[in-house]
Amino acid sequence: MIIDMHIHTMVSSPCSFIDPVECIETAISRGLDAICITEHDALEGSRVLKDIARSYRGFIVLSGIEVLSREGHLLVYGYDKDITGVPSARDVIDIVGSCGGIVIPAHPWRAPFGWYSGTLDRPLEETDFAELFGVIEKYNGSSSPKQNQMAVNYCQKTGAFGIGGSDAHSVSGIGCCFTVFEDDIADERELVAALRSGRYKAEADGRYFDIWGD
């Protein structure tokens, strides 16, 4: 299955210009099998798109959240409540993990919203980053090729798994980065199991490199 793991819509992300119906129809036209709606700190957007997706046979919408933690933005999958405030990453991991979900750092090398908001002088390997996360966002459509390459290098060096997502805030970005899963995924429980298995790969298509001119 080909899934864009990181999309924002105008339902719950004020920074997004993506209409829910246009989001689904664009994703289908670009060959995606499913999308994860990861609104900022809220699940409402994914609930709205799930309802709309019932009219599109065979297309799946999965719920996620992009949480602002003290250390940076975190993608949360498999957790069914909003996460508000600015909690620590460890608190988010504990809360989500207790319910069977998974937490993945978004665009970890992008300042100012990457890990520790890009302010650490030490490389991630010398922090508690590796201890906290076994999966990272490897390809992000709103991050530069250099920033994504740092994530690629980190995965190669440490053996961490990596996902891909467009981080789209306009329809032009939908599907420019995505994750190819070896297994079929029908719901969030199966998504979390697949993310833990490592049976997938992150990819970026030609539109990503056209956007960044690289």
| Dihedral over Cα of 15, 105, 162, 57: its sign | negative
Question: Can you spell out the DSSP letters for 164-177?
Answer: EE--BSSGGGTTSE
Element housing 179 (H / E):
strand 177-181
Position 165 confidence tier, pLDDT thresholds 50, 70, 90? very high
Instruction: Grade residue 207 by pLDDT with cuts at 50, 70 and 90.
Output: confident
Which amino acid, 22? E
Fold of 2-212: TIM Barrel (3.20.20)
Average pLDDT over residues 149-155: 94
Q: Is the pLDDT of residue 112 over 90?
A: no
**Percentage, residues of the chain above pLDDT 90:** 88
- Per-domain residue ranges for the chain? 2-212
Q: Residue 213's pLDDT is what?
A: 74
Label residues 33-72 b or e (16+ Cβ within 10 Å = b). bbbbbbbbbbbebbbbbbeebeeeeebbbbbbbbbbbebb
177-181 and 200-204: which strand pairing?
Answer: antiparallel
Local confidence band at 162 (pLDDT 50, 70, 90 cut-offs): very high
Does residue 113 have a pLDDT over 70? yes
Q: Is residue 124 predicted with pLDDT exceeding 90?
A: no
| Residue 214 in this model has a pLDDT that exceeds 70 | no
119, pLDDT greater than 80:
no
Q: Rounded CA gap, 170 and 184, in Å? A: 27
21-70: per-residue pLDDT in tens?
Answer: 999 999 999 999 999 999 999 999 999 999 999 999 999 999 999 999 99
